[in-house]
Amino acid sequence: MNLVVDVGNTLVKMAVFSGKTIVYKKIVVKNDFDKTLDLVLEEFSEVRKAILSVVGSFSEKSTSRINKHFQTIYFTPESKMPFLNEYTTPKSLGVDRLALVSAAFDQFPGKNCLVIDMGTCVTYDFINSEGHYKGGAISPGINMRYKALNAFTERLPLLDVNAPENIIGNSTQTSIHSGVVFGISFEIDGVISQYKQENKDLTVILTGGNAHFLRDRLKNSIFANSNFLLEGLNFLLEYNQTA
């Protein structure tokens, strides 16, 4: 059994895998990580290996605890990858994007894949059927768009994410919801359509916190998998021990 730890800017995602199946998953704030790790150690004594991926900051104490209890791989852009990375600035490439591409390589071998991650930012990452990672794009995520409208204007309110019923907003609030939600949906559909024009038999995977919120709003056929990044890290843990 494996432990996967994905550290973001504010939250930590933890998952225990038996083979390729998630048997336990928890998302916590960083201050609650050690308490949750204690629960994992108590309930899953069979776990021997771990992978740690850090995008934000993570305390040395928590890192040391993982190293103490498990055979740990610290995942970085310098780790072994199963695909050919053609990104021109590979050291600046986020480990989360690398994990997502690895999941696509593992689960859709020999396919042209576009992975769209709906996190703080929307990231688009493309790997072709030959296993060459080409790069992608980064744009503001849903919450960032709501916050930007509030932060860079004097009178627009900060709203929570909400699905608009109509593209025509008949109030300031419904206009904001329409602009943000329809805007990001049209963006994603447009990007997918462009990739489909240039790449035959494209497989599209939508993941991240807002994946299921947007899935039914997209015209294109996609796979929605909120655990795709965790699955990619689990694959990389096995790959880096055997490669």
Query: Could you tell me if 70 and 101 lie in one domain?
Result: no
Q: Is 4 exposed, middle or buried (0-12, 13-18, 19+ CB in 10 A)?
A: buried
- Give catalytic status of residue 160 as yes or no: no
The reply to whether 242 falls in a domain is: no
- Residue 63 makes CB contacts below 8 A (sequence gap 6+) with 52, 74
More confident residue, 208 or 127: 127
Residue 206 belongs to domain with CATH number: 3.30.420.40
Alpha-carbon gap, residue 37 to 35, rounded angstroms: 5
What is the tens place of the pLDDT at every residue in 138-161? Answer: 999 999 999 999 999 999 999 999
Q: Give me the domain span that covers residue 191.
A: 84-227
Domain boundary among 57, 75, 93: 75
Query: Could you tell me if 190 and 212 lie in one domain?
Result: yes
Q: Which tokens sit at 202?
A: 């494209």
Query: Could you tell me if 7 and 67 lie in one domain?
Result: yes
What region, left, alpha or beta, does residue 152 occupy, with left being phi > 0 and alpha being psi -120 to 50 degrees? alpha
Per-residue CA distances from 25 to 41, 51, 80, 132, 228 (Å): 14, 15, 25, 31, 13
Q: Is 163 exposed, middle or buried (0-12, 13-18, 19+ CB in 10 A)?
A: exposed
pTM of structure: 0.92
Query: Could you tell me if 105 and 39 lie in one domain?
Result: no
The reply to whether 144 falls in a domain is: yes
Return mean pLDDT, the chain: 93
Candidates 38, 96, 201, 216; catalytic one: 96
Alpha-carbon gap, residue 142 to 137, rounded angstroms: 16
Query: Could you tell me if 41 and 137 lie in one domain?
Result: no
Mean pLDDT of 81-98: 94
Residue 72, pLDDT > 80, answer yes
Query: Could you tell me if 166 and 221 lie in one domain?
Result: yes
What is the tens place of the pLDDT at every residue in 174-190? Answer: 999 999 999 999 999 99
Alpha-carbon gap, residue 68 to 86, rounded angstroms: 35
The reply to whether 215 falls in a domain is: yes
Least confident of 3-12, 40-49, 70-79, 212-221: 212-221
Mean pLDDT of 16-31: 94
Binding site feature residues:
6-13, 87, 94-97, 117, 120, 172
The reply to whether 241 falls in a domain is: no
Residue 59, pLDDT > 70, answer yes
Alpha-carbon gap, residue 159 to 93, rounded angstroms: 31
Unique residue bearing structure tokens 């480990």? 95
Please state the domain count of the chain.
Answer: 2
Query: Could you tell me if 186 and 208 lie in one domain?
Result: yes
Query: Could you tell me if 98 and 209 lie in one domain?
Result: yes
Domain boundary among 29, 45, 75: 75
Query: Could you tell me if 106 and 223 lie in one domain?
Result: yes
Binding site feature residues for substrate:
87, 94-97, 172
